[in-house]
Chain A
Amino acid sequence: MTQETFERELARRADEVHGAPLTFDVVSGRARQIRRRRRTAVVAGVAAAVAAVVLVPTALSGGGHDRAPEPAPAPTVPGAAVLHDGVVTLPGGGTVPVAVDNADVTQMSVLVDGRIVLALQEPYGIQVYRPDGALEARYPVRYNVFATSARDDVVAWVAKDLSVQVLSSGTTEPSTWPRIPRLPGTDGNISAVLDADHLLIDDGTTTSVEMTADGETDLATSEPFRVTDVSPDGSLWAVTTVPDVDSQFGCGGLYDPESAALVARSCDVSGLRFSPDGEHLLSVRGDNNMAGEVKVVDRDLRTTDVVDTDVISRVAWDDSAHVLVAAVDLRSSQWSLTRLELGGGDPEIVVPPSPGGNPEIMSEFTFSE
């Protein structure tokens, strides 16, 4: 049996394949979906039994080629609130009824003044709810995504007229900034909110502009990357380098904006999000609105824990020692919410398995940013 046999038979098998031609509109539409998912850094995963969701501590491994500086005492910010079945459960345990369907919600934040900010597919836009859950305001948008400051005191989005809107805790109306910067090939996206006066803007892959109410300035960084999160004390940015064709997700890093240097870097992580005390980060990799690989890493980007399950729809910090995981069993479409402790320990089933929708297009649990 020769190589020619393989060549002949594969060619014969392939020649029998005919598909409906893909049009430019179909391909560019799919490209827009991918770009949107990259922008919102939505979390993702694959299927498995809900009860199998565990956090496995690891010997410190992989990770930073460079070590991050010793952490300064950092303020601790609240963990995630959870929207499920029309109710927002706050980090302290309080609940707020909100008249929305999870299938329509793409993002949530809870401001420190108690207001809840949602990005919605239907109706398409940003909606702000009072602390008691009553709808306060609805804003039309260009893209239904927003960014939240590390201290949960500011959210910002791009309005339908392309002006930037910045809503601060304690103020009723958002302030209107100039047009979102136009970057090569695209309108900019808001990578991060540094504070009420400073935003970072990217083109989908590279954060290259700092914006204020007065205008924009180029951001000089040591190398191209996109900022994915800011530490609670604002001293470090979590970043993802531009993925090339050889790396599906790009590499993760920690960037010190003061010294303009990448202080830790690992190609085993990306989509990094700081814990509420800034001591650890979640690394989330996935696609199709789910996460396939979730790790906890330290500030040297060495893996300390791995979320051991097949299918994760969403993951977030509950507090500095616990992670919330929304998982789904694709065979049965049973969704559940589990709380995992860093370093191991028995998983706590917060919401037991119940039927839900298709995780490729929605999540039954939405965590606050």
Chain B
Amino acid sequence: MDRDTDFTAYLEARQARLLRTAYLLTGDQHQAEDLLQTSLAKLYLAWDRVRDRGSVDAYVRRIMVNENNSLWRRGWRRRETATDTVPETAPVHDRYDEGTGSAVWAVVQTLPRKARAVVVLRYYEQLSEAETADVLGISVGTVKSQCSRALATLRDRIGEEER
């Protein structure tokens, strides 16, 4: 299989899942699509160096996180109004949801970029603490503390809404 055919097969098989991860990292569909396109382009440039095809997902995840944390994208986001408060969004309720979904999403949206990446990799990508630490270049202890803090924030938020 030649290089481009090989890459195209990966692209077709994995892009839907990767877009979802990108969305959880960015919180915005447009930014997620742009992040995914850039990350896949960088993966394509490095395709020959990723010899272990079993590790491509890990490789592209790392590109996505780095790209999302990059100087440029941070600046791009600064164009939007930064706020410490949770945006007021219309809660989405369905028969399985008593507002928890909205609360989780609100917490995720207010997390700092790297903490958000920890939550997404641990709780959506289902990476282990060690794998998450490896992707983000941080210690396992930091992964544990970020997750613990996110859970505590969620508990506080749910508690406030119930009061």
Contacts and interface: CB of A to CB of B under 8 A. Distances in A.
Given A1-B158, A17-B29, A245 B62 contact: yes
Interface string B115-152: 00001100110100000000001000000000100110
A9 B151 contact: no
A34 B104 contact: no
Given A10-B24, A27-B11, A46 B45 contact: no
B78 A310 contact: yes
A292 interface: yes
A172 B119 CA distance: 62
B57 to A, nearest CB: 13
Given A6-B123, A27-B44, A46-B78, A248 B70 contact: yes
B79 A330 contact: yes
B75 interface: yes
A34 B100 CA distance: 41
A19 B151 CA distance: 30
Contacts of A292: 70-72, 74-75
A10 B108 contact: yes
Interface residues of B, number: 55
A35 interface: yes
A27 B124 contact: no
Contacts of A26: 37
Query: Which of A9, A12, A288 counts the most chain B CB atoms within 10 A?
Result: A9
B19 A28 contact: no
B42 interface: yes
Contacts of A286: 71-72
A42 to B, nearest CB: 12
Contacts of B36: 19, 22
A202 interface: no
B150 A293 contact: no
Interface string A27-69: 1101101110000000011110000000000000000000000
A292 B29 CA distance: 24
A13 B40 contact: no
Nearest to A46: B75
Query: Which of A6, A35, A248 counts the most chain B CB atoms within 10 A?
Result: A6
Contact of B44 (A3, A6, A31, A293): A31
Query: Which of B45, B59, B126, B151 counts the most chain A CB atoms within 10 A?
Result: B45
Interface string B31-54: 011001110111011101000000
Query: Which of B108, B123, B150 counts the most chain A CB atoms within 10 A?
Result: B123
Nearest to A45: B75
A7 interface: yes
Interface in B8-30: 8, 11-12, 15-16, 19-21, 23-24, 29
Given A15-B20, A293-B71, A3 B123 contact: yes
A288 B150 CA distance: 32
Contacts of A1: 151, 154-155, 158
A1 B107 CA distance: 13
Query: Which of A19, A285, A290, A331 counts the most chain B CB atoms within 10 A?
Result: A19
A9 B71 CA distance: 29
A334 B8 CA distance: 41
Nearest to B105: A13
Given A10-B120, A10-B123, A19-B16, 6 more contacts: A11-B124, A13-B104, A17-B23, A31-B41, A31-B44, A34-B42
Interface of B: 4, 7-8, 11-12, 15-16, 19-21, 23-24, 29, 32-33, 36-38, 40-42, 44-46, 48, 59, 62-63, 66-67, 70-72, 74-76, 78-79, 100-101, 104-105, 108, 119-120, 123-124, 126, 137, 147, 150-151, 154-155, 158
Interface of A: 1-3, 5-7, 9-15, 17-22, 24, 26-28, 30-31, 33-35, 44-47, 185, 245-246, 248, 285-288, 290, 292-293, 310-311, 330-331
28 contacts: A3-B147, A5-B104, A6-B104, A7-B123, A13-B23, A13-B104, A14-B21, A19-B36, A22-B11, A24-B4, A24-B11, A27-B7, A28-B41, A28-B44, A30-B41, A31-B44, A33-B41, A34-B38, A47-B78, A47-B79, A245-B62, A245-B66, A246-B137, A286-B71, A286-B72, A292-B74, A310-B78, A331-B79
A-B interface, 7 closest residue pairs, ranked by CB to CB distance from nearest: A46-B75, A292-B71, A14-B20, A30-B41, A9-B104, A31-B41, A6-B123
